[in-house]
Structure 1
């Protein structure tokens, strides 16, 4: 995740940056919004300090220029500024002083909402049906029992069929940014999904990067199963 932190005094900025880097989140700092508004497309999320004099105007301009999610940092003293920020398009807010795990959790929640925007609650991938509301999966109408992590992994890869999802993003979204165990667990869960879903979908490992999920049509499945 590439994050831009706008505003905050120097010492506060260093604290937030060190916090996010501890969670392996890439972050840059800009003391004001005017210098960076033209380069917002390079970032996945904006952290905006409401203590900056023109913060509400900057938030409005960010929202006018695109769909980069914005989380505002508020000192708790001005409810009207928080309300104004949310009303003009900020996605969430976090009180200062920042509590590291809360900040990261709220950022991740905002990113999940953006990634799922436009993704149907019930998605068909060939013979596989993924119901995100009930967290159920069926193949050719027959329910398939998945563990929590297996479902989360399948749902993540299915959000953009054919696109490669990196291991780091998989670990952040399905496990935890501070996961200290082996990333081999991703391979183990993919293998389990392959066994349970058979040849109805294709999990392709992209060496050194991650995995992509592809739909397999009926004709291709027949060809693969023929002697």
Structure 2
């Protein structure tokens, strides 16, 4: 049995075609025909969500925003809207990819496969390697090329948040809300200061990259 995919698409013809192609690729799709504001425990166990934007019930971006409040499941947006602002907004809200309609079914399948091949969020308590960088979420220890790197509490929390989504952009808003203390230090300027300090400690090649208009991601360090 293949990995489970949730498709949220109201167009009956297009939805049926996508389901057919997903099954033909060895995947196990579930199909919802309207948007829903999900709460914790209401999302099925799936490896990826393929989400249309123009939906009855709940608009796709509203569904994405509610989903990101409790889940980091990868989300691929499908939309007839080709405006750059729509794409940027979707990425800021936590989408992992954006595919404009109309599209070739083969492209959709390859994007789905590419997303599934990428590492998902690491569970708390595990260690993860990103190039020469090793992060232990349980002991809060970090090594670069086998040498320990001393980080503050906030620096480690920032690094851990980025490492749990390797090579993926994490929005500034998410980092402000989940890494910094909103009552004492939850400002963009403070976030920039922590990022700058983290970059100095890790080095430019293996540090934190800016994704303009979105947020930050952890450099893979490949080819170092």
TM-score by length of structure 1 reads 0.48
Larger radius of gyration: 1
Higher helix proportion (structure 1 or 2): 1
